[in-house]
Amino acid sequence: MKIGIPKEIKNNESRVGMTPGGVFELVKNNHEVFVQSTAGDNSGFLDEAYVEAGATILETIEEIYAIAEMIVKVKEPIEQEYSLIKKGQIVFTYFHFASSEPLTKAMLESGAICIAYETVEDRDGGLPLLTPMSEVAGRMSIQQGAKYLEKPVKGRGLLLGGVPGVPPGKVLILGAGVVGMQAAKMASGLGAQVTILDIDMKRLRYANDVLPANCTTLFSNEYNIREHVQTHDLIIGGVLLKGKKAPNLITRDMLKTMKSGAVIVDVAVDQGGCVETTRPTTHQDPIYIIDEIVHYSVANMPGAVPYTSTLALTNVTTSYAIKIANMGWKKALASDPGLQKGLNISEGEVIYKEIIEAFDWAS
C-alpha cells in the first residue's frame, strides 16, 4: 500500500502522524511511505531520518494526497484539505465528527474511508488511540490553568499550590476518566485542593483509592456542580461520551456565581465542550473572557508539546496502520471488532450512529 504522511496545517499543530520508526516498520512490511517535506520538523524528526527509514520525501501536500492510498494524520482535515481527499482513500486520524457538521458533510461528499482514532476500542471497551492524548491533555490542563490564574493574563492572581501560611488554590475536575485522573495527579502534586466529580461510582472509588489525601471525590449532579463552581479557582472539563457531543455541565448562568478571574480549561472542546460558553481556540489565541471568567479551550492542546505527543500517539497508532496496510481496510476491520468501531464514515455513508444523533439527522 502507498501511505502518505502530510504536514499538519491546523493552527499551531506541530505533531506529525508517524515517526521514522513507524515508517521503518511499514517499509519492512513492503509498503511505500511518502512524507511531506518538513512534516516532522516541529516534533524533532527531520526529513533525513525519514529517508533513512525508507520514506520518499515529497514537497507538497497535494502530492501526498494524490499518491497515497492511505493518509495517516494527527488532526482532522481542515477546509483546505477537503478537495484533496479522493474517493476510496483511507484517512486514519482524529476526526471528532460530532463537533463539526461541515467536516462530516465534506467527508461524506469525498467518498473516503474515515477511520477515527478516537472511537477505536480495545477488548475492554477502552479507547487505546485516544488515551495517550488524553493523558497529555489532562496533565497540560493544570499547567495551562495555573498559568492563566496569573494576574497579567486576567486570572485571579493566585498561586495554585499556595505557600506556607497561605492556602492553596481549589481545583474542580469534571470527569474521573483519563483526562480527569491525570489532571488530579498534577494538581494534587502541586499542592492544590482537588475535587473530582463523576457519575460512575466505580471510577470514584478507584480515584479515592489511588489519589492522595488532598483529592476529594464527589458524585456529579447539577446541584453539586452549581455549589462547587462558586468556591473553586480552576475548573477542568474532562467529560467524554464515546463519539458523542459532550454534555453542557456548566451553563452560562453559573459563570456569574464564580469567583472573578477563575479559569475554565475545557479539554472536552474537541467534542463540543462540557461548558455552554466553550468555543474552540488556538495556541496562537488561546483564551477569551466571559463574565470575568477566563476560558481556555484550545482544540489541540497536545500540539504544544509535539515531541512528547507524537511519540505517545504513534506508540499506539502504528500497529493499527500496519494492520490496515497489510490486510486492506475491509479485512483488517473484519478481523478486529475494536478497529471496526473506528470506522465512522465509509464511501459516502455514516457508519458510526452517534454522528447521526449529534446532528439529529435521523429526524
Q: Return the active site residues.
A: 96, 270
Report the distance separating Cα 230 and Cα 243, nearest Å.
31
Q: How many helices (H) and strands (E) does the chain have?
A: 14, 15
Strand order in the sheet with 293-296: 215-219, 193-198, 170-174, 234-237, 263-266, 293-296, 287-290
CA dihedral 140, 118, 71, 88 (to 10 degrees): -160
Cell, residue 90: 483511507
Give the C-alpha distances (Å, rounded to integers) separating 92 from 178, 254, 362. Answer: 22, 39, 26
CA angle 313, 314, 318 (to 5 degrees): 135
Cell, residue 263: 479559569
Give the C-alpha distances (Å, rounded to integers) separating 188 from 160, 161, 170, 215, 232. Answer: 10, 8, 10, 7, 14
- What backbone phi and psi angles, to 5 degrees, belong to 219? -70, 140
Report which secondary-structure segment, H or E, holds 353. Answer: helix 353-358
Q: Say if residues 74 and 16 touch (Cβ distance below 8 Å).
A: yes
